Structure 1
């Protein structure tokens, strides 16, 4: 394995990487061209993930574009100290460098390169460089396995990873951000709208599901698609220089068209009509916010069920929740979920099955600030945030109406 590892490192820099497609995106300080056949997947506070489907080799490989960091200390130290930030935040993973990072000079650029093992499952090819006053890093995450698996990953990094790295342009070196600079606009506040979409269930049946979209606008020219982390408070300037939240962007109004450009360079357009706006599937209306420090009295509940394919599997999956809010600033409630199934053969005889479920009680205090209902669980876990607003005479928390009965 050590011999193959050394050969892979040598091979990676023996040939230039292939160039990417013309689709350009931005994450943090990095503006890059999306490699052909790859798509932009989720973004976290530490990295942007690029993935693909239908690949014939290294099908579980993912590229990670790391969040930019100030260029302090040695480049090799930056790679070693920041590589653990590329682990999956939803899993209990560990990272071990297989050897100290190496410095490689190529075309006037200096890179740091290393390979790392992620727990016992995957490994990473890591490549870091300096761009102005910032350090940058990309990585290829690939499943561990036999030598053929490692060779496939090395070839992907050679053919695609180096092309991705060479396509990088950095705001810290004068590259123009894909999100245009904000200019003051006449929109300010929260707009919300709901559409009904058909969804194919596990049982093979089409059913209708409500889909609510929230758009927050600020008079300085910024917008947010979804629930802003700080509600309707103006975003801090520091978060806008190198945006890692791809749901924020700037807007322009031209006639009856509202053009949106997100931080990662993607765009969208809505049509304005007096006090409403339409995105093609729903009409959004302006909502009224509750004053800071308000309290509420009422409850919200939710129930979901989807059955399995009839004929061979019976049962399904379900979830439910109930939360009650009091005027004294406290809340209580519970949530539950479960799944059950019975298996039958061609004669209709039951051949087996299973059932599982869980339930949790929750409660604590809440506050209303900047258009958010911020719930503070009594167990000390992280605060839960949801937009809260009035739509006519009704109060909504997220996309659920508050029942006052």
Structure 2
């Protein structure tokens, strides 16, 4: 059988860092991802070595230990690099053609040393004894290596994309041109077939330190954005980013499954409210933005959605100077100082009843108004701040009342009331 090619995925080496606090000499787990391919097929794999290699080397041949590896934990830059290169060399010598790799997903190949009867029952790892293996720490135990195979539970999960009657257009991932990495999984982008200068925000499922819940967050945000598609002052969904399954095994398959890769959102160039607060907000603008945010948040609540992370960095300013609410999944995360006091000790605040989550949003809105009022140098909205941040959540006023009060303040200001004098 033709030997399969191995291409390592950059920056995909990981190791368990718990050994440092435990006082061990090395990590108990280390992994590297790669793509294994033939001329017409490819498999995504994650090879994980479980166990402490140096301890086993001590038993088999003590004098073969690398210099400086005995005694205290070895986590110098050089030691970490050596562990990564050794694992890559070992992976390069695996005869993947003799393994049953899983189709259209990520196969995790877990390696262990046959040190007991349980591990001895596992299959012997098929290796080609090549020169690069001889120079590694694995050379002494290569004949003892055993393997097991399963689907990688830590893989990025790309959900199957199902078309519906939504008016939102579909964008193929290949048409995305990244211009700026904003926060690891959020990019300012252009489309290859779009008008020159038109920019968007791309929120990708794949991200650094990915966790399977990240996929659920994107899916929930997609549902919410579809429901809120024409609601003012909430970020507009501009497209759904799709592709064929990145883990597809058959290279030339034209009818592969289509999966969700992320969301394309309207890009607003006016920055965030957090940035505006540092510069200073005119009193009239303060009232306008507070009114817009209150109205947007009220529309979420009318649909049974709560934001749960309302804060200045989650409000952006569009090209006309309007406030726009972003990150509306409702389950993406929370920020401690922007959580109401009664839920700060909750392990999972997203599981709270809707009314409790709504009270949290109202409290956070009150804090937001307080920040804006301080920035604008006005005390005209102190009543709203007090009424929305009461200790007893059941006594906090609702957002429809807030909107009525803000409209009154705006009218007073336009008539030359005290709010204008700052």
> TM-score, normalised on structure 2?
0.25
Q: Which structure has greater helix proportion?
A: 2
Q: Which structure has greater strand proportion?
A: 1
> TM-score, normalised on structure 1?
0.25
Structure with the greater alpha carbon radius of gyration: 2
